[in-house]
Amino acid sequence: MASVSETATDLLTRQENDPSFESIWDEIVWRGLVHVSTDEGGIREALSSGPVTFYCGFDPTAPSLHCGNLYQLLLMRRLQLAGHRPLGLVGGSTGLIGDPRPTAERTLQDRSTVEHWVTRLQAQVSRFLSPDGDNGLRMVNNLDWTAPMSAIDFLRDIGKYFRVNTMIRKDAVSARLNSEAGINYTEFSYQILQGLDFRELYLRYGCTLQTGGSDQWGNLTSGTELIRKAEGAVVHALGTPLITNADGTKFGKSEGNAIWLDPEMTSPYAFYQFWLNTADQDVIPRLKAFTFLPRVEIERLETAVEAEPFRREAQRALAVAVTSLVHGEAAVEAAVATSEALFGNGDLSALDPATLRAAVGDLPGAADLEPDVDLAHALVSTELVRSLGEARRAMEQGGVYVNNERCDDPAASLATFALPGDVVVLRRGKKTLSGVTLVV
């Protein structure tokens, strides 16, 4: 925590909206959370007039939510802090179908898997929103109202309100229709089910606002249109911008793998490092969207990025704030201590074994090796050197470190260096790190 400014440290874990804004709408616009909406003036007025019941849906297409979902969760939390009533929907029925991808058909999961994932995602959503008070979080599952509905009832009571010529203009549907893969009727019907969700929540709980990613805009407006036609009521939808990095790459992807909120799928150390490695061009938008830091502090950090980018103060503030939010302050402290110790500024043997093991596994070239493998072969396996001869020469020249201690014995077995967590940290020179996880 000491690596972040004192002012920022006091604010990093605080959850409250910024009182410098006239309204919650003004704040979420400033934070870059609004890309498209059904009626900007209408939503602003509704949010300013009294408690609004709103919902956001999460489909169980994996056993964990990821950073893209966190974007939605924090928007929900900001609205809840402003006094509005959140409904967290985990799609037990829509998860059995899957929102159509623009390029390929989804692989359908079996019912028991989806049911298990629903339970996991419900627990994750509940961690980010308060259950207390008149506007405490209410969790809902769309399987509760779709499972009892017959196919005839679905077609007569819901399907009659949807026009095929409108449905095929939705971006994902249109893209699939124009591809060789085409689109099956199951995925084509997804937008009707999401529209049904909004109508059901409107009837049950008076829900009048749905939030989601702008890539879901067709699905969001299917609900507003269904309610308008079937109930004669006006409700709203808000689409957040798609999150991309400044270079155009998809946010939250690392070598094709999502940054998960589940610590078993993305370790807290790797999670912390992901945010710490944010590019200068991206860090201020991330601070706005993913932290509760007030405008004045974010503007101060923006000045720091421009004046002294090498200090990476904004990146450290971002990494601390988001990792604290998702994994707790103890995980941040362990990640910071591990990062420093890997480069010789701490005692590796005193680190939390699980965090150290995760950190070593994430190092470039990291390898899983037997304990009796010698150091020279380990250096080759971790790509710190290209050959055994180069390994021996590097050690003779004093350029090889094992657990931050210089080592010149190429025949030494890895077992003699094992740290808690059954790992060995290897370094060539001052900054080229790798490591070994011992297969025991």
Q: Is 1-14+244-342 assigned to CATH 1.10.240.10?
A: yes
* Cα-to-chain-centroid distance, residue 365: 25
Q: What is the pLDDT of residue 3?
A: 46
Predicted confidence at residue 348, as pLDDT, reads 94
CATH of domain 349-440: 3.10.290.10
Q: How many CB atoms lie within 10 A of CB 14?
A: 11
Residue position matching structure tokens 């990821």? 66
- At the topology level, CATH places domain 33-240 in Rossmann fold (3.40.50)
pLDDT at 330: 93
Name residue 276's amino acid: L
* Selection from 322, 325, 200 nearest residue 272 by Cα: 322
Say if CB 360 and CB 425 are below 8 A apart.
Answer: yes
Q: What angle do CA 362, 365, 366 make, to 5 degrees?
A: 50
Tokens of 74: 């924090």
Q: Give the pLDDT of residue 390.
A: 96
CA 356 to chain CA mean position, Å:
22
Map out the domains of the chain as residue ranges: 1-14+244-342, 33-240, 349-440
Q: How far is CA 210 from the centre of its chain?
A: 20
Identify the pLDDT of residue 253.
56
Tens place of pLDDT for every residue, the chain, 440 residues?
A: 444 444 445 667 889 999 999 999 999 999 999 999 999 999 999 999 989 999 999 999 999 999 999 999 999 999 999 999 999 999 999 999 888 877 778 888 999 999 999 999 999 999 999 999 999 999 999 999 999 999 999 999 999 999 998 888 888 888 888 888 788 888 899 999 999 999 999 999 999 999 999 988 999 999 999 999 999 999 999 999 988 877 777 776 554 668 999 999 999 999 999 999 999 999 999 999 999 999 999 999 999 999 999 999 999 999 999 999 999 999 999 999 999 999 888 899 999 999 999 999 989 999 999 999 999 999 999 999 999 999 999 999 999 999 999 999 999 999 999 999 999 999 999 889 999 999 98
* pLDDT at residue 228 in the model: 97
d(CA 417, CA 301): 41
Query: pTM score, two decimals?
Result: 0.90
